[in-house]
Amino acid sequence: MVALRAPLDAAGNLDAPVGAPGLDPVPLVVDLDGTLLRTNLIHEGILALLRSDALAIVRLLGWLLAGRAALRRRVVAHPALDLATVPVDEDLLADLAARKASGRMIVLATALDPAVARRAAQRFPMVDGVIAAGDASGPAAAARATRLAELFPQGFDYAGSAGADMPVWAAARRALVTGGRPAIVEAVRALGRPVDEIGASARPSRLRALFKGLRLHQWAKNALVFVPLVLGGRVGEPAAWLAALGAFLALGLIASATYLVNDLWDLPHDRAHWTKRDRPLASGRLPLALAVPAIAAGLALGLGLATWVGSAVLAGVLAYLALTLAYSLSLKRVPMLDALMLGSLFTMRLVIGVAAVAVAWSPWLLTFSMFLFTSLSFAKRHTELRGAVKRMRSGKLSGRGYHTADEPVVLAFGIAAGLASIVIFILYLANEAFRHAVLAAPFLLWSFPPILALFMSRVWLLAGRDELNDDPVAFAIRDRASLGLAGAAGLAFALAAFGIPGIAG
């Protein structure tokens, strides 16, 4: 079998109807942007440009004034966009490799400039040529169909993923549909064309990808806002519970929105990471165009709820938002400070809980929270460093300020912070917990230090064995032993608040 590159003209396009000995005379034409690449390159390019230079927004506005085509051309050609790392539809790629092995000619169709298109095509050795045949949307889709019909009078098959590809499918002999959207498949079948669905059964829905990107399991952290309500002795007041619930929901919405911001900003690093590359945005399962309005909706709803609860809660939520954005955009790359920032964000949940139910501040409790969650943050970094040591042996952790040689230091600080949190909780019990008669059976709080010691020792023991999830919170809500300890702590906390029948506090 002869494997030939299709002849290109000076601009990098196919220059004539093509056929070669040993190749199927009917080529398979594949849409690049949004089909073989599981993302929109103009969105990726804009984000990459802003990531490299925040002031690039001025240039983007200037390019937009010149028209959408000019904006696309300049953004996609900019060196900030790394075409080698954008996610690929692996199911379609495997299908193309199999078809190439059986003798098919594979041609990419794209609206990219020829030079950029050739650079993108270098990732795919099975590709025989590139056609810059116009965008597969609007009037340009019809132009693409006409161009392909001229180049391949013997017919062509076409692989696409969106309803905008319909004019091209109508001109094709056979349709390959990716994306797993039944409505599009049915519409193509209505054209009277044979249809091959590629990877439809294995591709999750965009809605499911969005929910995963929002990290709803992380809302468990927000339960901290209820702690001041109990310790402040307001458990019997429905209004206090309603205010705490409003703060809980506001924090959840804001946090989910900022998780998406974090993942958008970290795309290149997540795609280079051995586990984070499977995140919805990094893998391309969640389109950037869906993530941005989800961020806006989450922020608007969260701030609206915080305003409804009260001005103090709104101030706390705004401070939390500012700290989170500072962490995501910059401070996460400062070693050691990043863990302290994460500990501060956990503690902000307690602060917001205090503001929501209007109880007295407890410096002991806030200091305990800082050390406990800073320790867990160091556990997260330690796990990442252990993984990097295995894969890199030496070097810098992508997207972070740590080197693999920092692992022992992170381990030492993490364990020290965990032990300090236990000591601080004991000091809180000895100096403050029993001064105010707000709990029915406060002596039960003495069960917390041993429970904390068991939990922290388990976290760090498993971290040393490489059995800890990158995210200690995700680990804790799936680990049976941790759930058992949490259940024991929750029971002790409830009995301390409401009392044991027949026993006075």
- Cβ neighbours for 423, distance < 8 A, ≥ 6 positions apart: none
- What pLDDT is stored for residue 4 in this prediction? 33
pLDDT of residue 131: 83
Q: Do the Cβ atoms of 366 and 432 come closer than 8 Å?
A: no
pTM greater than 0.75: yes
Q: How many CB atoms lie within 10 A of CB 260?
A: 24
Cα–Cα distance measured from residue 251 to residue 432, given in angstroms and rounded to the nearest whole number: 28
Closest CA to 153 of 19, 259, 56: 19
Higher pLDDT, 370 or 141: 370
Q: What is the pLDDT of residue 227?
A: 87
Lowest mean pLDDT among 176-185, 364-373, 407-416: 176-185
* Helix, strand, coil shares, percent, the chain, to 5: 65, 5, 30
Confidence of residue 135 (pLDDT cuts 50, 70, 90): low
Digit-coded pLDDT (tens) for 312-343? 999 999 999 999 999 988 888 899 999 999 99
Using DSSP bridges, classify how beta strands 195-197 and 106-109 pair: parallel, antiparallel or unpaired: unpaired
Mean per-residue pLDDT, 150-173: 87
- pLDDT bin (cut points 50, 70, 90) of residue 202 is low
Which class in CATH covers the domain with range 204-361? mainly alpha
Q: What are the phi and psi torsion angles at 396 (to 5°)? A: -110, 140
Q: From CA 432, how far away is CA 438, in angstroms rounded?
A: 11
User: Of 314-318, 343-347, 488-492, where does mean pLDDT reach its minimum?
Assistant: 488-492
Tell me: the pLDDT tens digits for 223-276? 889 988 887 778 788 999 999 999 999 999 999 999 999 999 888 888 887 778
pLDDT for the residue 300: 96
Q: What is the pLDDT of residue 473?
A: 72
Bridge partners, residue 452, by sequence: none
The distance between the two most distant Cα atoms of the chain, rounded to a whole number of Å, is 93
Task: Write the Ramachandran bin of 195: left for phi over 0, alpha for psi from -120 to 50, otherwise beta.
Answer: beta
Instruction: Read off the DSSP letter of residue 479.
Output: -
**How far is 38 from 15, CA to CA, in rounded Å?**
28
CATH code of the region 28-38+87-197: 3.40.50.1000
Measured between alpha carbons, how far apart are the two ends of the chain, in Å? Answer: 87
